[in-house]
Amino acid sequence: MKNKLSKSTAKGIRSFLNTFLHIDANSSSCITLFQPKAPKELSKFRRGK
């Protein structure tokens, strides 16, 4: 039972993080004053490539 719970939790976390990365990759603003360069791996989550 514990394995099933942890697997479903891992799937939920993975889904949440993928959604967050899609939103972050397509946003044009930054909360902080300094906006660092985005990593190249983030480009696979962008809508317009």
Per-residue confidence (pLDDT) for residue 41, from 0 to 100: 84
In terms of C-beta distances under 8 Å and separation of at least 24 residues, what long-range contacts does 32-40 make, across chains too?
Answer: none
Q: Residue 46: is its pLDDT beyond 90?
A: no
Full-model pTM: 0.48
Q: Residue 21: is its pLDDT beyond 80?
A: yes
Which conformational region is residue 44 in: left (phi greater than 0), alpha (psi within -120 to 50 degrees), or beta? alpha
DSSP-derived secondary structure letter, 34? S
Per-residue confidence (pLDDT) for residue 30, from 0 to 100: 55
Q: Residue 18: is its pLDDT beyond 80?
A: yes
